[in-house]
A and B are shown apart, each in its own frame.
Chain A
Amino acid sequence: MRESTVMFLHYITAILIAITGLIHLLANNDPAIGPLIKSNTALYLGNMAIFLAALLYHAFNGVRVILIEMVPDRCWTKWIGWAILIVGVVTYAVGLQVLMVALGLA
Chain B
Amino acid sequence: MEAESGYREYYARNMRGISGWFKVRAYTIERWLYAAHRITGILIVLFILAHFYSTGWHPGLWWDALLGVVVTFHVANGIRLILAELGLAIGKPLLIKKPSQRPVSIEGVQRYLVVFALVLFIVLAAIWAYYALVVQSMMG
Pairing of A with B: yes
State the A residues within 8 Å of B (CB). 11, 14-15, 18, 25, 29-31, 55, 59, 62-63, 66, 69-70, 72-73, 91, 95, 98, 102
Cβ contact within 8 Å between B41 and A72: no
Q: Mark B52-92, 1 if CB is under 8 A from A, else 0.
A: 10011000000000000000000100110110011000000
Known: A59-B45, A91-B52. A72 touches B38 (CB 8 A): no
Cβ contact within 8 Å between B14 and A69: yes
Residues in chain B within 8 A of chain A (CB atoms): 7, 10-11, 14, 17-18, 38, 41-42, 44-45, 48, 52, 55-56, 75, 78-79, 81-82, 85-86, 131, 135-136, 138-139
Which of A18, A70, A102 is the one whose CB lies under 8 Å from B75? A18
A residues in contact with B11, CB < 8 Å: 72-73
Q: Which of A15, A62, A70 contacts B45 (CB 8 A)?
A: A62
Known: A15-B82, A72-B14. A29 touches B131 (CB 8 A): yes
Neighbouring A residues of B10 by C-beta, 8 Å: 72
- How many Å from the CB of A48 to the closest CB on chain B? 12
| Chain B, interface SS category | helix
The SS class assigned to the A binding surface is: helix
13 sampled A-B residue pairs with Cβ under 8 A: A11-B81, A11-B82, A15-B82, A18-B75, A18-B79, A25-B131, A30-B131, A59-B48, A62-B41, A66-B38, A66-B42, A72-B7, A95-B52
Which B residues are in CB contact (< 8 Å) with A55? 48
Could you say which residues of chain A place their CB within 8 Å of the CB of B56?
102
Instruction: Give, as a whole number of angstroms, the nearest-CB distance from A99 to chain B.
Output: 9
| Known pairs A31-B139, A70-B14, A98-B55 / 11 extra A-B pairs, C-beta < 8 Å | A18-B78, A29-B139, A59-B44, A59-B48, A62-B41, A66-B42, A70-B17, A72-B7, A91-B52, A98-B52, A102-B55
